[in-house]
Amino acid sequence: MTKRRIVVALGGNAILSKDASAEAQQQALRDTAKYLVQFIKQGDDLIVSHGNGPQVGNLLLQQAAGSTDKNPAMPLDTAVAMTQGSIGYWMQNALGEEIAKAGLDKDVTTVVTQVEVNADDQAFTNPTKPIGPFYTKDEIGAIKDAHPDQTFVEDAGRGYRRVVPSPRPTGVKEYKAINAMVEAGIVPISVGGGGVPVVQEGNRLVGREAVIDKDFASEKLAELVNADLLIVLTAVDNIYINFNKPDQKKLETVSVAELKQYIDQDQFAKGSMLPKVQAAIDFVEHSNGGKAVVTSLENVGNFLKNGDGTIITK
Protein backbone atom coordinates (compact mmCIF):
# COMPACT_ATOMS: atom_id res chain seq x y z
CA MET A 1 0.00 0.00 0.00
CA THR A 2 1.23 3.49 -0.86
CA LYS A 3 2.28 5.59 2.13
CA ARG A 4 -0.28 8.28 2.89
CA ARG A 5 -0.09 11.54 4.80
CA ILE A 6 -2.98 11.49 7.28
CA VAL A 7 -4.30 14.14 9.67
CA VAL A 8 -6.36 12.57 12.48
CA ALA A 9 -8.58 14.92 14.50
CA LEU A 10 -9.47 13.66 17.98
CA GLY A 11 -12.22 15.23 20.12
CA GLY A 12 -11.56 16.77 23.54
CA ASN A 13 -14.53 14.85 24.96
CA ALA A 14 -12.77 11.60 23.99
CA ILE A 15 -9.97 12.52 26.42
CA LEU A 16 -12.16 13.79 29.26
CA SER A 17 -15.63 12.37 29.85
CA LYS A 18 -16.50 12.47 33.57
CA ASP A 19 -13.28 12.13 35.53
CA ALA A 20 -11.24 15.34 35.07
CA SER A 21 -8.15 14.04 36.92
CA ALA A 22 -4.82 13.89 35.12
CA GLU A 23 -4.69 10.13 35.74
CA ALA A 24 -8.03 9.50 34.03
CA GLN A 25 -7.16 11.65 31.02
CA GLN A 26 -3.76 10.01 30.67
CA GLN A 27 -5.44 6.57 30.74
CA ALA A 28 -7.92 7.70 28.07
CA LEU A 29 -5.00 8.76 25.87
CA ARG A 30 -3.17 5.46 26.45
CA ASP A 31 -6.33 3.73 25.21
CA THR A 32 -6.47 6.14 22.25
CA ALA A 33 -2.82 5.57 21.35
CA LYS A 34 -3.49 1.85 20.82
CA TYR A 35 -5.75 2.80 17.91
CA LEU A 36 -3.59 5.59 16.49
CA VAL A 37 -0.45 3.46 16.36
CA GLN A 38 -2.16 1.29 13.72
CA PHE A 39 -1.59 4.07 11.14
CA ILE A 40 2.13 4.13 11.96
CA LYS A 41 2.38 0.32 11.81
CA GLN A 42 0.86 0.48 8.33
CA GLY A 43 3.59 2.93 7.27
CA ASP A 44 1.44 6.06 7.00
CA ASP A 45 2.73 9.51 7.97
CA LEU A 46 0.56 10.62 10.88
CA ILE A 47 -0.29 14.10 12.17
CA VAL A 48 -2.50 14.18 15.27
CA SER A 49 -4.76 17.03 16.33
CA HIS A 50 -7.13 17.18 19.29
CA GLY A 51 -9.88 19.21 20.89
CA ASN A 52 -9.70 20.84 24.32
CA GLY A 53 -13.23 22.09 25.05
CA PRO A 54 -13.66 20.36 28.43
CA GLN A 55 -10.06 20.94 29.47
CA VAL A 56 -9.78 24.65 28.65
CA GLY A 57 -13.09 25.38 30.38
CA ASN A 58 -11.98 23.54 33.50
CA LEU A 59 -8.63 25.35 33.47
CA LEU A 60 -10.39 28.73 33.32
CA LEU A 61 -12.53 27.74 36.33
CA GLN A 62 -9.44 26.65 38.28
CA GLN A 63 -7.69 29.92 37.46
CA ALA A 64 -10.70 32.05 38.35
CA ALA A 65 -10.98 30.29 41.72
CA GLY A 66 -7.36 31.09 42.60
CA SER A 67 -6.99 34.48 40.92
CA THR A 68 -5.53 37.37 42.92
CA ASP A 69 -4.10 40.79 42.03
CA LYS A 70 -0.58 39.41 42.36
CA ASN A 71 -1.37 36.11 40.62
CA PRO A 72 -4.09 36.88 38.05
CA ALA A 73 -5.87 34.34 35.86
CA MET A 74 -4.50 34.01 32.34
CA PRO A 75 -6.54 35.04 29.26
CA LEU A 76 -8.32 32.46 27.09
CA ASP A 77 -5.70 32.35 24.29
CA THR A 78 -3.00 31.56 26.87
CA ALA A 79 -5.23 28.91 28.47
CA VAL A 80 -5.57 27.29 25.02
CA ALA A 81 -1.75 27.19 24.75
CA MET A 82 -1.52 25.69 28.24
CA THR A 83 -3.92 22.87 27.34
CA GLN A 84 -2.06 22.29 24.07
CA GLY A 85 0.99 21.65 26.22
CA SER A 86 -0.66 19.44 28.84
CA ILE A 87 -2.72 17.29 26.46
CA GLY A 88 0.20 17.15 24.01
CA TYR A 89 2.50 15.92 26.79
CA TRP A 90 0.05 13.17 27.75
CA MET A 91 -0.51 12.19 24.13
CA GLN A 92 3.14 12.10 23.05
CA ASN A 93 3.93 10.06 26.16
CA ALA A 94 1.14 7.54 25.42
CA LEU A 95 1.83 7.31 21.69
CA GLY A 96 5.57 6.97 22.32
CA GLU A 97 4.86 3.99 24.59
CA GLU A 98 2.72 2.25 21.94
CA ILE A 99 5.31 2.94 19.22
CA ALA A 100 8.01 1.35 21.42
CA LYS A 101 5.77 -1.66 22.14
CA ALA A 102 5.34 -2.13 18.38
CA GLY A 103 9.13 -2.19 17.95
CA LEU A 104 9.08 0.94 15.79
CA ASP A 105 11.50 3.88 15.86
CA LYS A 106 9.50 7.12 15.71
CA ASP A 107 9.62 10.34 17.69
CA VAL A 108 6.40 12.15 18.68
CA THR A 109 6.53 15.91 19.31
CA THR A 110 3.96 18.50 20.38
CA VAL A 111 3.89 21.79 18.49
CA VAL A 112 2.35 24.77 20.29
CA THR A 113 0.45 25.98 17.24
CA GLN A 114 -0.82 29.49 16.43
CA VAL A 115 -3.82 29.53 14.09
CA GLU A 116 -4.59 32.75 12.26
CA VAL A 117 -8.12 34.17 12.26
CA ASN A 118 -9.74 37.29 10.83
CA ALA A 119 -9.96 40.14 13.36
CA ASP A 120 -13.43 41.12 12.15
CA ASP A 121 -14.85 37.58 12.00
CA GLN A 122 -18.51 37.82 13.04
CA ALA A 123 -17.94 34.96 15.50
CA PHE A 124 -16.40 37.45 17.93
CA THR A 125 -19.85 39.00 18.48
CA ASN A 126 -21.72 35.66 18.40
CA PRO A 127 -20.19 33.08 20.80
CA THR A 128 -21.05 29.48 19.85
CA LYS A 129 -18.19 27.18 20.95
CA PRO A 130 -18.99 25.12 24.10
CA ILE A 131 -16.19 24.82 26.66
CA GLY A 132 -15.88 23.43 30.17
CA PRO A 133 -18.23 21.23 32.18
CA PHE A 134 -21.93 20.57 31.68
CA TYR A 135 -24.42 22.11 34.11
CA THR A 136 -27.94 20.91 34.90
CA LYS A 137 -31.02 23.13 34.59
CA ASP A 138 -31.04 23.48 38.39
CA GLU A 139 -27.40 24.63 38.49
CA ILE A 140 -27.40 27.04 35.57
CA GLY A 141 -29.31 29.91 37.25
CA ALA A 142 -26.70 30.38 39.98
CA ILE A 143 -23.85 30.01 37.47
CA LYS A 144 -25.31 32.75 35.24
CA ASP A 145 -25.78 35.03 38.26
CA ALA A 146 -22.14 34.52 39.26
CA HIS A 147 -20.86 35.19 35.71
CA PRO A 148 -23.19 37.74 34.07
CA ASP A 149 -20.57 38.55 31.40
CA GLN A 150 -20.48 34.95 30.15
CA THR A 151 -22.87 33.21 27.73
CA PHE A 152 -24.38 29.77 28.38
CA VAL A 153 -26.43 27.55 26.07
CA GLU A 154 -28.05 24.13 26.13
CA ASP A 155 -25.64 21.75 24.35
CA ALA A 156 -27.11 18.89 22.26
CA GLY A 157 -29.39 17.61 25.05
CA ARG A 158 -26.47 16.98 27.42
CA GLY A 159 -26.86 20.02 29.69
CA TYR A 160 -25.81 23.69 29.72
CA ARG A 161 -22.30 24.88 28.87
CA ARG A 162 -20.44 28.15 28.53
CA VAL A 163 -19.93 29.26 24.92
CA VAL A 164 -17.13 31.48 23.58
CA PRO A 165 -16.34 32.97 20.14
CA SER A 166 -15.18 30.43 17.55
CA PRO A 167 -13.74 32.21 14.48
CA ARG A 168 -12.87 30.28 11.31
CA PRO A 169 -9.14 29.62 10.80
CA THR A 170 -7.49 31.34 7.84
CA GLY A 171 -3.97 29.93 8.26
CA VAL A 172 -1.66 27.85 10.48
CA LYS A 173 1.53 29.74 11.37
CA GLU A 174 3.66 26.67 12.04
CA TYR A 175 2.55 24.50 9.10
CA LYS A 176 6.01 24.56 7.47
CA ALA A 177 7.62 23.32 10.69
CA ILE A 178 4.95 20.59 10.97
CA ASN A 179 5.62 19.64 7.35
CA ALA A 180 9.37 19.43 8.01
CA MET A 181 8.74 17.14 11.00
CA VAL A 182 6.66 14.77 8.88
CA GLU A 183 9.39 14.74 6.20
CA ALA A 184 11.88 13.83 8.96
CA GLY A 185 9.73 10.90 10.11
CA ILE A 186 8.42 12.61 13.27
CA VAL A 187 4.77 12.38 14.38
CA PRO A 188 3.61 15.94 15.21
CA ILE A 189 0.75 16.69 17.61
CA SER A 190 -0.49 20.06 16.42
CA VAL A 191 -3.37 22.58 16.26
CA GLY A 192 -4.32 21.25 19.70
CA GLY A 193 -7.64 22.66 20.86
CA GLY A 194 -8.00 24.25 17.42
CA GLY A 195 -4.74 26.15 17.91
CA VAL A 196 -4.12 29.44 19.70
CA PRO A 197 -6.29 32.04 17.89
CA VAL A 198 -4.15 34.94 16.69
CA VAL A 199 -4.57 37.92 14.36
CA GLN A 200 -1.81 39.64 12.39
CA GLU A 201 -0.95 43.20 13.50
CA GLY A 202 2.13 44.33 11.58
CA ASN A 203 4.89 41.85 12.39
CA ARG A 204 3.16 40.68 15.55
CA LEU A 205 0.60 37.90 16.05
CA VAL A 206 -1.82 38.95 18.80
CA GLY A 207 -3.88 36.40 20.74
CA ARG A 208 -7.67 36.62 20.82
CA GLU A 209 -10.24 35.50 23.43
CA ALA A 210 -11.68 32.56 21.49
CA VAL A 211 -11.49 28.81 20.89
CA ILE A 212 -11.25 27.64 17.28
CA ASP A 213 -13.15 24.50 16.33
CA LYS A 214 -10.55 21.73 16.14
CA ASP A 215 -12.17 20.15 13.07
CA PHE A 216 -11.84 23.37 11.05
CA ALA A 217 -8.28 23.92 12.28
CA SER A 218 -7.38 20.32 11.42
CA GLU A 219 -8.89 20.79 7.97
CA LYS A 220 -6.85 23.95 7.37
CA LEU A 221 -3.66 22.17 8.48
CA ALA A 222 -4.46 19.14 6.29
CA GLU A 223 -4.81 21.47 3.29
CA LEU A 224 -1.53 23.28 4.00
CA VAL A 225 0.55 20.09 4.44
CA ASN A 226 -1.04 18.43 1.36
CA ALA A 227 -2.52 15.54 3.32
CA ASP A 228 -4.05 12.62 1.42
CA LEU A 229 -6.64 12.01 4.10
CA LEU A 230 -8.38 13.97 6.87
CA ILE A 231 -9.90 11.63 9.44
CA VAL A 232 -12.36 13.22 11.87
CA LEU A 233 -13.00 10.95 14.84
CA THR A 234 -16.32 11.14 16.63
CA ALA A 235 -18.61 8.98 18.81
CA VAL A 236 -20.17 6.99 15.94
CA ASP A 237 -18.72 4.73 13.21
CA ASN A 238 -20.60 6.56 10.43
CA ILE A 239 -22.44 9.78 9.66
CA TYR A 240 -26.20 9.13 9.70
CA ILE A 241 -29.16 10.87 8.16
CA ASN A 242 -32.46 10.80 10.09
CA PHE A 243 -30.26 10.06 13.12
CA ASN A 244 -32.01 8.26 16.02
CA LYS A 245 -35.23 7.94 13.99
CA PRO A 246 -36.80 4.66 12.80
CA ASP A 247 -35.64 5.34 9.24
CA GLN A 248 -32.06 6.36 10.14
CA LYS A 249 -29.54 5.51 7.42
CA LYS A 250 -25.77 5.35 7.66
CA LEU A 251 -23.68 6.99 4.97
CA GLU A 252 -20.74 4.97 3.66
CA THR A 253 -19.32 6.64 0.54
CA VAL A 254 -20.89 10.05 -0.04
CA SER A 255 -20.14 13.01 -2.32
CA VAL A 256 -19.73 16.63 -1.29
CA ALA A 257 -22.87 17.52 -3.30
CA GLU A 258 -24.96 14.95 -1.40
CA LEU A 259 -23.69 16.17 1.96
CA LYS A 260 -24.57 19.76 1.06
CA GLN A 261 -28.15 18.64 0.31
CA TYR A 262 -28.32 16.95 3.72
CA ILE A 263 -27.02 20.13 5.38
CA ASP A 264 -29.84 22.08 3.66
CA GLN A 265 -32.26 19.55 5.17
CA ASP A 266 -30.85 20.21 8.70
CA GLN A 267 -29.74 16.59 9.02
CA PHE A 268 -26.72 17.33 11.25
CA ALA A 269 -26.73 18.75 14.79
CA LYS A 270 -25.07 22.17 14.97
CA GLY A 271 -23.11 21.51 18.16
CA SER A 272 -21.78 18.08 17.20
CA MET A 273 -21.87 16.52 13.71
CA LEU A 274 -22.36 19.63 11.54
CA PRO A 275 -18.84 21.15 11.99
CA LYS A 276 -17.30 17.73 11.29
CA VAL A 277 -19.28 17.43 8.05
CA GLN A 278 -18.42 21.01 7.05
CA ALA A 279 -14.71 20.46 7.76
CA ALA A 280 -14.76 17.26 5.69
CA ILE A 281 -16.41 19.11 2.78
CA ASP A 282 -13.87 21.97 2.99
CA PHE A 283 -10.95 19.57 2.85
CA VAL A 284 -12.26 17.58 -0.12
CA GLU A 285 -13.06 20.79 -2.00
CA HIS A 286 -9.74 22.53 -1.31
CA SER A 287 -7.22 19.67 -1.30
CA ASN A 288 -5.47 18.16 -4.29
CA GLY A 289 -7.52 14.96 -4.63
CA GLY A 290 -7.72 14.26 -0.88
CA LYS A 291 -10.55 12.39 0.81
CA ALA A 292 -12.12 12.87 4.23
CA VAL A 293 -13.36 10.20 6.63
CA VAL A 294 -15.72 10.54 9.58
CA THR A 295 -15.73 7.54 11.91
CA SER A 296 -15.06 6.50 15.52
CA LEU A 297 -11.75 5.81 17.21
CA GLU A 298 -12.87 2.23 17.87
CA ASN A 299 -13.52 1.73 14.14
CA VAL A 300 -10.00 2.72 13.02
CA GLY A 301 -8.96 -0.94 12.57
CA ASN A 302 -12.02 -1.70 10.43
CA PHE A 303 -11.38 1.44 8.38
CA LEU A 304 -7.78 0.44 7.69
CA LYS A 305 -8.76 -3.14 6.89
CA ASN A 306 -12.05 -2.74 5.00
CA GLY A 307 -12.60 0.99 4.45
CA ASP A 308 -15.46 1.05 6.99
CA GLY A 309 -16.72 4.50 8.02
CA THR A 310 -18.14 7.44 6.08
CA ILE A 311 -15.80 8.39 3.22
CA ILE A 312 -16.37 11.79 1.61
CA THR A 313 -15.23 12.23 -1.98
CA LYS A 314 -15.38 15.06 -4.52
Model confidence pLDDT, tens digit, residues 188-226:
999 999 999 999 999 999 999 999 999 999 999 999 999
> Does the active-site annotation cover 13?
yes
Q: Mean pLDDT throughout 251-273?
A: 93
Report pLDDT digits (tens) over 2-56.
Answer: 889 999 999 877 788 788 899 999 999 999 999 999 999 999 999 999 999 889 9
pLDDT digits (tens, 9 = 90+) for 146-179: 888 889 998 777 889 889 999 999 999 999 999 9
Q: pLDDT-derived band of residue 271, with 50, 70 and 90 as boundaries?
A: confident
Q: Which of 11, 12, 88, 193 is catalytic?
A: 12
Active site residue 260: no
| Three-state SS sequence of 46-64 | EEEEECCHHHHHHHHHHHH
Q: Is the pLDDT of residue 1 over 80?
A: no
> Nearest to residue 8, comparing CAs of 42, 28, 44, 36?
36
pLDDT of residue 12: 74
Catalytic member of 88, 214, 290, 291: 214
| Residues 150, 118 contacting (CB under 8 angstroms) | no
Q: Looking at residue 36, what is its pLDDT? A: 96
pLDDT of the residue at 132: 80
Q: Which of 276, 291, 299, 309 is labelled catalytic?
A: 276
- Mean model confidence pLDDT for the chain: 94
For 193: left if phi > 0, alpha if psi spans -120 to 50, otherwise beta; the answer is left
